[in-house]
Chains A and B, each alone.
Chain A
């Protein structure tokens, strides 16, 4: 049984090393729009922001362009593909790299439906009165 314990121990250590390596290589830091724009060139990051209303351009070949804002700075984002619930004005996280003045998104994450709380909090009762 001692042998078995050693094998299991080694297996766990190997697993730990693989886990750590994979973790390091697949880590994708969060940065702000301002940071990305000020750096000029950043690769493999995620940027949180709001899709700027009126900035969307849909080109042929399923290419989507929009501006993402963090309240201070805006950046142009380009994405190839369909986003099933894309809307302007909602928060989004874009994953990809920034170069040549454009953010090339591999992925655009729109808020999951069970997580609309933030939006609701911003929607104060005053605004509802105004709408009426």
Chain B
């Protein structure tokens, strides 16, 4: 038996013991410090299992099946490390590792709620341990040692893809904490929101970071000029992000009076749903069920995941039912109502994405990108408009301020229309400036603490993201049929492309063909772009990768990808002009930073009137 496997068994047993001691603690028969020690032991075992797998990658032990499939002898050190989480088994191990840390950090306070929450989180940990010990065992060995590995998918050899799983799985694992504490504290008729807020914000920020890295990677790597394809894998990570965003806002209402505010039932439901959705996302991301409908029945783990989702929901529902008397909070005021509408919009958005994502599982069909765009663009717009109203909602001179924002919006609409003559862009700009001025007015008069600073950053981020998405989705120009020989030039839109020549580079386990393309806009030279074709020396079939080149200007990206080169030296290219895409990145980064800044705020259990 492999040593790594033994560590996993150790982790499982420690979590089981932790459950037992949590129970004994509630009966007064064990000390809480014993539980904490067991949780620490579990973390050590999980870490050792993780390091063992990492070690096998570093020494290139291709006898280990997982190492064989995800690395080869030419793989650089950085990507050899990131290969640990390139597949299903390693990702689940990473999940477990993060969860072990979260369990340890979230149960430091000694009380019955911690004990109950600890039990729930340990059950989840044991679930992942179970998968790792059975169907997703990363330590399975082949009955011989291949001299060379199958190789890491070349598409994953980018910094973004190396960091995407660690970010996203941290977010997923972190969402276990709000779920466990919501159920546990509700059972004991206590408030849970203050105990989980920091974990929720950190998990939310990392989930956002993971999504952003994925989008950025898709943009830089896949060569279609876009960053969001409404692919089931992308969608599945967006779902818990949407519901946890709703939860963060719902908590703002409930925290009034030290947790006596309204929306208690809604927050409870969202804590549970978010957890269910991260489990669903883990399953979708790491099983490939959606891309191939037939794989579903063959995937044994599918039923385990479904079972976890089902059982956790039923359990949470039963607890809520038994404690339904505690869900009554303060009456909702105007601001609370508006937050409720924000949660409603996020819920509708979640439902839309969920329906689209699950369609291939339920019927033999899937929906096109247009389905999402038809629904999500209006919802996103509504959200940004609502934001503009919401941040002013509890101001004394509400009407005056709203009118100011409206005027700002109206003027910018007219100005943008006069310049561009584009109707939708003008409306978008109007909404952008309306909400922008509201944010400025709404926050300027108040004392800024870290939490507010975070909110400002995230809300500014949202409107930048809105304008960026709008620009890049509605006004992208694509030219997909460009062929050029050396020395030839082609005019596309306002741009002229000229193929200067090729270069070939061989080495480091790959062979690259680099094209040198000069780009001119309205006759002005912008630069030379270097789209590439990279052919890796690998056994695997998917060893050719097109590498794009991008020139980022403040208000648009110029994007080129090479499709192929014929023997006669004619190369084919795709060329895109993507407006405002930098706003998408800046907006997303602000949203993520906003979450992290807010998480730094010292917790005060005080009545927040506003």
> A residues bordering B, Cβ < 8 Å?
4, 8, 12, 15, 18-19, 22-23, 26-31, 46, 48, 58, 60-64, 80-91, 93, 95, 109-120, 123, 125, 128-129, 131-132
Contacts and interface: CB of A to CB of B under 8 A. Distances in A.
Given A26-B371, A58-B563, A82-B546, 15 more contacts: A15-B348, A26-B368, A28-B366, A28-B367, A30-B364, A30-B365, A58-B566, A60-B483, A62-B573, A80-B480, A84-B223, A115-B288, A118-B295, A125-B144, A131-B539
Given A19-B355, A28-B368, A82-B561, A118 B344 contact: no
Contact of B562 (A60, A82, A109): A82
Contact of B546 (A15, A84, A129): A84
A112 B222 CA distance: 10
A118 B295 CA distance: 8
Contacts of B365: 27-30
Most chain A CB neighbours (cut-off 10 Å) among B223, B344, B482, B541: B541
A85 B360 contact: no
Nearest to B286: A114
Contacts of A123: 150
B598 to A, nearest CB: 28
A46 to B, nearest CB: 7
Contacts of B87: 114, 117
Interface in B268-302: 285-288, 291-293, 295
B302 to A, nearest CB: 13
Interface in B61-108: 69, 86-88
Given A62-B482, A84-B561, A129-B144, A116 B153 contact: yes
Given A61-B572, A62-B480, A118 B544 contact: no
Closest 10 CB pairs of A and B: A115-B288, A82-B563, A26-B371, A84-B223, A29-B365, A84-B546, A62-B572, A113-B153, A113-B155, A61-B481
A23 B368 CA distance: 9
Contacts of B602: none
Q: Pick the most buried of A23, A29, A88: most chain B CB atoms within 10 A of its CB.
A: A23
A88 B541 CA distance: 8
Contacts of B155: 84-85, 113
5 contacts: A12-B344, A26-B368, A26-B371, A82-B561, A116-B542
Nearest to A119: B541
B553 interface: no
B375 A81 contact: no
B422 interface: no
A93 B295 CA distance: 14
B291 to A, nearest CB: 6
A31 B154 CA distance: 30
B375 A111 contact: no
A114 B572 CA distance: 28
A116 B155 CA distance: 12
A46 B231 contact: no
Interface in B313-352: 337, 341, 344, 348, 351-352
A27 B223 CA distance: 25
A55 B374 CA distance: 37
B420 interface: no
A66 to B, nearest CB: 13
Given A19-B352, A84-B221, A118 B563 contact: no
Contacts of B142: 125
Contacts of A116: 153, 542
Given A23-B355, A28-B366, A60 B570 contact: yes
A22 B292 contact: no
A117 B291 CA distance: 12
A118 B355 contact: no
A18 B542 contact: no
A26 B546 contact: no
A82 B572 contact: yes
B293 A30 contact: yes
B397 interface: no
Nearest to B142: A125
A117 B374 contact: no
Contacts of A89: 541
A29 B364 contact: yes
A61 B483 contact: yes
A4 B337 contact: yes
B541 A128 contact: no
Interface in B541-580: 541-546, 548, 561-564, 566, 570, 572-574
Contacts of B86: 114
Contacts of A84: 155, 221-224, 545-546, 548, 561
Contacts of A22: 370-371, 374-375
B509 interface: no
A85 B146 contact: no
A87 B544 contact: yes
B542 A117 contact: no
Contacts of A4: 337
Contacts of B288: 111-112, 114-115, 117-118
Interface string B503-545: 0000000000000000000000000000000000001011111
A87 B222 CA distance: 14
User: Among B147, B154, B366, B482, which residue has the most Cβ atoms of chain A within 10 A?
Assistant: B366
Contacts of A117: 87-88, 287-288
A60 B154 CA distance: 26
Given A23-B367, A81-B480, A85-B155, A48 B546 contact: no
Interface in B141-196: 142-144, 146-147, 150, 153-156, 161
Contact of B292 (A60, A63, A91): A91
B16 interface: no
Nearest to B164: A114
B291 A93 contact: yes
Contacts of B292: 48, 91, 118
A50 to B, nearest CB: 11
Contacts of B541: 87-90, 119
A120 B483 contact: no
A112 B364 contact: no
Contacts of B233: 112, 114-115
A113 B542 CA distance: 9
Contact of A81 (B352, B570, B574): B574
B543 A87 contact: yes
